[in-house]
Amino acid sequence: MASPLKNFIHFFLICTIHFISSSTAKTSTRPKGLILPVYKDLSTHQYITEIKQRTPLVPVKLAVDLGAEFLWVNCEKDFTTSSYKPALCNSAPCKLSKSIACTTECYSAAKPGCTNNTCALFPENTIAPIQTSGSLGSDAIEVQSGAGSVTVPNFLFVCGSTILLDKLASGVTGMTGLGRAKISMPSQFFSAFGLRRKFGVCLSSTPSKGSIFFGEFDSSTAPLTHTPLLTNPVSLSSTKEPSAEYFIGVTAIHINGKAVHVNPALLSIKNDTGHGGTKISTVDKYTVLEASIYKAVEHAFVKELNVPRVRSVAPFGACFDSKKIGTAYSGPAVPTIDLVLQSKDVYWRIYGANSMVQVSKDVSCLGFVDGGVDSRTSIVIGGHQVEENLLEIDLKASQLGFSPLVYRKQICANFKFAAKA
């Protein structure tokens, strides 16, 4: 890693959470909030969290998927528990899940993931990607609540199989589902503990310091910019439900304050096909842009930066001699990239730390990827661009709050749950 970025990383802050008041480690039935610690696996660039599940409880590592409908775990291997309950076809949990399929008979010995008359869903490894059928059930889980931890006895999840683990980081046996669905992890946490329907996401580029937190938190030290969360009416899954993913309304892209020419039709979500629009992803490593948007952004960025290009390094297109790029407080001194939202004064500004990727000692690249002409979603804001930003997903208000430059203002390190929920 070259020195500008390395120096900069020392500024990076660590998303730890402190409760304002709790000095006792006693577990209350109604915690102020819940925390999933998140670390980045540096060999795969996956964001990984850990919960405890089953009876007796065992740690379960999960890749973080922000837009998925439900938690899924591999039940085919090393799944031992005395508290698993299958969700029967037409049961209340089955209806809640919007399942449209029922496994009437499983032909091998009964075990979690193989039971008769069980509600079927389709867990997906969105990283590989690969999707299979799976079955809905519940088991106990334990999550951190700051000083202590809390248990949810019947937490709904989907049993997947070993084949679904393809390309996941070592030791990972499932994926989170943090999307907009009745059986998503946030929905179950909110209803189990009566929490306000919002959660925060703070991914870190360092291997151990991110977190996802649920409930009311004190954002007084974190000036958030807000934009409406949009719903894509067409889901990728087999249900007729809207997509569980989080979309926002990008209306223009500015580089160094100058508008980049993009086809506005690509920026809105097409109601009939679900194509177009902008979503936030924790499974894409880098922001993926539809081909014409990518080309326009790359062209404008190269022109504004005005540093000679070097040979491209896949998957990136525009790469530079990093010795010729200065260092600013917010990373490499490169043109800002603004995703303009509902008005020209409301934008998600991407600074050098989030736009550039150091690929070798002397080469850094614009960390955006060309998604081709057939991309379903025109702009997928990926992990590298989300890191060190605080995102607040408020499902009650249906809005996204975001606070770039978290590393500079030390927001995550000073994060607090509100004294009163």
Ligand X SMILES: *[C@@H]1O[C@H](CO)[C@@H](O)[C@H](O)[C@H]1NC(C)=O
Given the complex with ligand X, which of 154 and 268 has the nearer CB atom? 268
CB of 131 to ligand X, least distance (A): 23
Termini Cα distance of the chain: 43
CA atoms within 13 A on the CB side of 145: 25
Q: Which residues pair with 101 in a beta bridge?
A: 120
Tokens 């500015």 appear where? 254
Q: Which is nearer to ligand X, 106 or 296 (CB)?
A: 106
x/- string (CB under 6 A) for ligand X, residues 42-81?
----------------------------------------
Using alpha carbons, select from 201, 204, 87 the residue that is nearest to residue 155: 87
In this structure, the strands spanning 46-53 and 134-144 are antiparallel
What value, to the nearest 5°, has the Cα angle with vertex 34 and ends 29 and 38? 150
Q: Give the interface size with ligand X as a residue count (CB under 6 A).
A: 8
Minimum gap (Å) between residue 360 Cβ and ligand X: 44
Q: Applying CB under 6 A, does 263 fall inside the site for ligand X?
A: no
Nearest distance, CB of residue 106 and ligand X, angstroms: 4
Whether the CB-CB separation of 286 and 367 falls below 8 Å is answered with yes
In terms of CB distance, is 180 or 416 closer to ligand X? 180
Q: Are strands 415-417 and 17-19 parallel, antiparallel or unpaired?
A: parallel
* Minimum separation from the CB atom of position 114 to ligand X (A): 5
Among 271, 273, 360, 398, binds ligand X (CB under 6 A): 271
Which helix (H) or strand (E) element contains residue 353? helix 352-355
Helices and strands counted in the chain (H then E)? 8, 35
Q: Assign 162 to helix, strand or coil.
A: helix
Pairing status of strand 72-74 against strand 149-160: parallel
Q: With respect to ligand X, which residue has the nearer C-beta, 65 or 76?
A: 76
Identify which of residues 233 and 315 has a Cβ nearer to ligand X in the complex: 233
- Convert residues 99-128 into a mask of x (bound to ligand X by CB under 6 A) and - (unbound): ------xx---x---xxx------------
- C-alpha to C-alpha distance for 278 and 276, rounded to whole angstroms: 7
Provide, rounded to whole angstroms, the least separation between the CB of residue 342 and ligand X.
Answer: 14
- In whole angstroms, how close is the CB of 18 to ligand X at the nearest point? 42
Residues of the shown chain interacting with ligand X in the complex, contacts defined by CB under 6 A: 105-106, 110, 114-116, 268, 271
